[in-house]
């Protein structure tokens, strides 16, 4: 695949070419900015997972994090994302970054945590965990009490 191709186009091409892969993992996390909110569940998209496992599609995580930092800095300086445009912050890094090679499923989950979960959840040392990688079977099929789920409910299943 042409490395000058935009990430969106690379993902679309991979979706056409690759069979979706259902991950055997989920990421359960709690956001410290929402202490009363129930645990959130990150479910990897099967098409994204297929692209991560195949390689040659996704940019390095450093490029994604650099772009996230630009967005966060704009929001901190302006109090909102209103008026944000990539050309005002020096452009985006990840859409045209050189794609990385294939990942294992575990590496893909770690990449996804950094890309899609707020940094305040995964990058801060605390006296208690804020996220857990669990097998898909640890997530209840019955969603009746979904709004009462807490991270420690899943940590026992992951052990």
pTM above 0.85, yes or no: yes
**Quick one: which H or E segment has residue 89?**
none
Q: Which of 59, 47, 49 minimizes the C-alpha distance to 7?
A: 59
Which alpha helices (H) appear in the chain, and where do they start and end? 7-17, 46-54, 61-78, 105-116, 119-122, 151-158
Spatial neighbors of 29 by CB under 8 A, at least 6 apart, are 39, 40, 42, 117, 121, 122, 130, 131, 132, 151
Rg of the chain over all Cα atoms, to the nearest angstrom: 17
Q: pLDDT truncated to tens, each residue of the chain (159 aa)?
A: 555 789 999 999 999 999 999 999 999 999 999 988 899 999 999 999 999 999 999 999 999 999 999 999 999 999 999 999 999 999 998 899 999 999 999 999 999 999 999 999 998 888 888 999 999 998 888 777 777 777 776 765 554
């Amino acid at each position: 695949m042409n490395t000058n191709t935009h990430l969106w186009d690379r993902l679309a091409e991979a979706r056409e070419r690759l069979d979706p892969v259902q991950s055997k993992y989920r990421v359960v996390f709690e956001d410290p900015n929402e202490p009363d909110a129930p645990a959130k569940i990150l479910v990897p998209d099967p098409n994204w997972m297929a692209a991560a496992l195949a390689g040659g599609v996704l940019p390095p995580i450093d490029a994604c994090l650099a772009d996230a930092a630009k967005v966060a800095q704009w929001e901190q300086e302006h109090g909102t994302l209103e008026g944000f445009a990539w050309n005002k912050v020096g452009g985006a890094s990840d859409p045209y970054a050189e794609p990385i090679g294939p990942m294992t499923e575990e590496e893909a989950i770690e990449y996804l945590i950094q890309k899609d979960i707020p940094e305040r959840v995964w990058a801060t040392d605390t006296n208690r965990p804020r996220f857990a990688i669990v097998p898909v079977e640890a997530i209840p099929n019955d969603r009746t009490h979904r709004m009462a789920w807490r991270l420690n409910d899943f940590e026992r299943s992951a052990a």
